[in-house]
Amino acid sequence: MKFSTLLFAVAAMLCTTGSFAQLSTGEDVGVTQTTSGKVRGFIRNSIYTYRGIPYGVANRFETAQAPEPWEGVRSSTTWGPVAPLMSPTTSVRDESEFVFDHDWGYTSEDCLVLNVWTPEINDGKKRPVMFWIHGGGFSAGSSQELPSYHGENLAKKGDVVVVSINHRLNVLGFLDLSAYGEKYATSANNSMLDIQKALEWVRDNVSNFGGDPDNVTIFGQSGGGAKVNTLMAMPGAKGLFHKAINQSGAFRSETHGKEITQQVSAEVIKELGISGDQIDEIQSVPFKELAAAGQKALRTVGDRLREEGRPVGGFGLGWGPSMDGDLIPHQIASDEAYELSKHVPLMIGTVKNEFMPSLGAGLSHASMGDVMKHLEEQYGDKTAAYVAAAKEAYPNYKMPSDLIDIDTRFRPGAIYQANKKSALSGGASVYSYVFKWQSPVFDGKYKAIHCIEIPFAFFNIDRCENMTGATPEAHVLAEKVSKAWINFAHHGDPNHSGLPAWPKYSEENGANMLFDNHCEVRSHHDKALLELVISE
C-alpha cells in the first residue's frame, strides 16, 4: 500500500471514531433568537458555541443598558473584547507562562459580552446553566484568559449550558463618582452590576439555548469566587441564580463604604485636574491616564488609612465592591447578607498550595534546614507547633518545601464562610473541599497551585496539558471532579458513585472532601493549623 493511501485510510478511521473535532459552520448554523436579535455560532463535537454576544452597553462610569437591537443574524463565532487592564502585559516569566498558557485577547471599554456552550438549541429542554465568572481579582482577567475556562467539554459531559462573561474591571468598574450626580449613581459597583445584567440576560434568553433560567449555578475562582460571594449579598441579584460554587475566593476582610471610595474618587479627579462641576470630562480621559491616576489615588488613600491605623485589607487598598447602601447594602460577610442567600446551596473550597510561597522565596527544592529557617522567621517560637499541625493536616508530604506551601490565605476564609452559612437555621446545604492533587510539570515544582482545579472541574485536562501534564491520573480525577460540579449544578448535591460519601458540611463535623488520586473525606483535618495561623 502506498504511503499516501495508508495516510488517507488512517485519517478516515480517525474521523469515524471521533478523534478529529467535528466542526460545522455556515450562515444558517446555530441560529437562535435573543432579546436583541438573532445570533449564529458554530458546532464543534456536537456542542453549539457562541462567542462575544453583547449583553449590555454602557458609557464610561454609567449604568449598563440593554444592547441596541440589530437586524438580521449576528455572527458570534469569535471572542469579544476584554476589559482594559491597569497594567497591560508586556513581558512574562517563561516557565510560569508555559504552565498557565494565557490568552490575553484584545481590549475595549465596550466589553460587556458573553459566551455560550450548549448541547442543543431551540429544543425546549431545560438544562442546568453553569455561569462562570473569571478570576483576576477585581482588576484583571477575562472569560478567555485561561484555556481551562473553555466550556465545550463541560457542556457535553454534563448536558449543561455553560455561560462565561466579560465585564468592566478596575477603575472603570469601581470608581465611585456618585457624589457628582445621578448619572454616576451606580459607578462604585458598576462591575458587579454588569454581572447582574449578564444574569438577567440568562434569565431572558437562555431557554433559546436549551437552558433552564430557573436552575442557574454561579461559579468562579479566586476573584471570580469573591464575585460569587458579592452576588450572594446583592438584593438585586436574588432569584437570578439558585446555587453557588466558590473556588479559592473567600475572604474575611470587610468591604469599604462611601467614606473611603469617595476619598479615592476625589484624589483621582484632583490628579486629573478635573473639577467637580466638570466631572463629565472624565469620560474622555485616555484610559492610560485614568488608570495611572487611579493607582496613585489608591496609594494616597491607602497610606492615609495606614497612618490612621485603619485596615486596608490583605492585598492593600484596591479596586473592588463597596458597601454603597443600595446595590450592596450590607457587609458581604454580614448576617444580613447570609440571610439574603440563605436558600442558595453552596460548594466552597480551596487548593492545597495556592500561591506557592516557595516559588517567590526560591525554596522549591530547598533543604529541610533552609525551610525550617524560613518558617522560624515567620512563626518564631511557634515553628514547632506549626510543623506538627502541618504534618497532621497533610501527613504525606514529599519534600521540605511542602511545609511552607500550605495555603493560609484563602483557606481560613473558606472555613469561616462554611461555618457561618451551614449554621443558618433552615438554610441550604454546604459542601466543603480541598483540592490537593499535585501537578507533575517541571518536576512537580508547581504542586497544587492557584487555578489547578479549574481544568478538572471543566474536564479540560488535555486542553490544559501544560498545567496538568495530561497524565492518566489527571484524567481519572477529572472524571470525579467534573461529575461533582455537574451533579451540584443539576441537584445541589455533588455526590456520585465515583467518590466516597460526601457529607454536608457543618462546623461540628468539619467534613471536607480531599480531591487527589485517592479521594477521601476527613473531618477537621487542618483545624489545628488554621487556629495557629489565624492567631498570628
Model pTM? 0.94
- The Cα–Cα gap between 101 and 491 comes to 33
Copy the grid coordinates of residue 248: 479559592
| Of 210, 219, 75, 217, the residue nearest 143 (C-alpha) | 219
In Å, the largest CA–CA distance within the chain is 83
Q: What is the pLDDT of residue 398?
A: 87
Kindly indicate the confidence band of residue 3, based on its pLDDT and cuts at 50, 70 and 90: very low
Kindly indicate the confidence band of residue 113, based on its pLDDT and cuts at 50, 70 and 90: very high
| pLDDT, average across residues 483-497 | 98
Q: What is the pLDDT of residues 417-466, one digit of tens each?
A: 999 999 999 999 999 999 999 999 999 999 999 999 999 999 999 999 99
Kindly indicate the confidence band of residue 354, based on its pLDDT and cuts at 50, 70 and 90: very high
Q: 67, 55 in Cβ contact below 8 A?
A: yes
Alpha-carbon distance values, 421 to 360, 434, 508 (Å): 34, 18, 13
Tell me the residue type at 244: A
Q: What is the pLDDT of residues 273-298, one digit of tens each?
A: 999 999 999 999 999 999 999 999 99
Q: What is the pLDDT of residue 314?
A: 55
Alpha-carbon distance values, 202 to 46, 129, 197, 213, 459 (Å): 22, 9, 9, 7, 23
N residues, the chain: 536
Q: What is the pLDDT of residue 367?
A: 95
- Identify the CATH assignment for 354-535 out of 3.40.50.1820, 3.30.420.40, 3.40.50.300, 3.40.50.1370: 3.40.50.1820
Residue 77, SS3 per DSSP = coil
- The Cα–Cα gap between 484 and 493 comes to 8
Write the CB contacts of 167 (distance below 8 Å, at least 6 apart in sequence): 83, 111, 112, 173, 191, 194, 195, 198
Q: What is the CA radius of gyration of the chain?
A: 24
pLDDT > 90: what percent of the chain? Answer: 89
| Of 175, 313, 186, the residue nearest 251 (C-alpha) | 313
Instruction: Provide the phi-psi class of 470: left if phi over 0, else alpha when psi is between -120 and 50, else beta.
Output: left
Give the containing element (helix H, strand E) for 383.
helix 383-393
Angle between the 527-535 and 411-422 helix axes, to the nearest 10 degrees? 110
Q: 332, 416 in Cβ contact below 8 A?
A: no
- The Cα–Cα gap between 133 and 156 comes to 19
Instruction: Provide the phi-psi class of 210: left if phi over 0, else alpha when psi is between -120 and 50, else beta.
Output: left
Copy the grid coordinates of residue 191: 462591575
| pLDDT, average across residues 321-330 | 95
| Geometric angle at alpha carbon 370, from 365 and 375, rounded to 5° | 110
Instruction: Judge if 23-247 and 354-535 fold alike in CATH terms.
Output: yes
- The Cα–Cα gap between 394 and 387 comes to 10
Q: What is the pLDDT of residue 20?
A: 62
Count Cβ atoms below 10 Å from residue 527 Cβ, excluding itself. 14
Q: 170, 85 in Cβ contact below 8 A?
A: yes
- The Cα–Cα gap between 250 and 131 comes to 18
Q: What is the pLDDT of residue 309?
A: 86
Q: What is the pLDDT of residues 16-74, one digit of tens each?
A: 444 566 999 999 999 999 999 999 999 999 999 999 999 999 999 999 999 999 999 99
| pLDDT, average across residues 320-325 | 94
| Geometric angle at alpha carbon 236, from 212 and 129, rounded to 5° | 20
Q: What is the pLDDT of residue 15?
A: 43
Q: Which CATH architecture has domain 23-247?
A: 3-Layer(aba) Sandwich (3.40)
| pLDDT, average across residues 255-278 | 95
- The Cα–Cα gap between 258 and 441 comes to 46
Q: 101, 464 in Cβ contact below 8 A?
A: yes
| Of 146, 145, 75, 69, the residue nearest 107 (C-alpha) | 145
Q: What is the pLDDT of residue 13?
A: 44
Domain ranges of the chain: 23-247, 258-307, 354-535
Kindly indicate the confidence band of residue 536, based on its pLDDT and cuts at 50, 70 and 90: low
- The Cα–Cα gap between 340 and 421 comes to 11
pLDDT, averaged across the chain: 94
The catalytic residues are 222, 354, 450
Q: Any idea which residue has 463565532 for its cell?
A: 77
- The Cα–Cα gap between 352 and 500 comes to 20
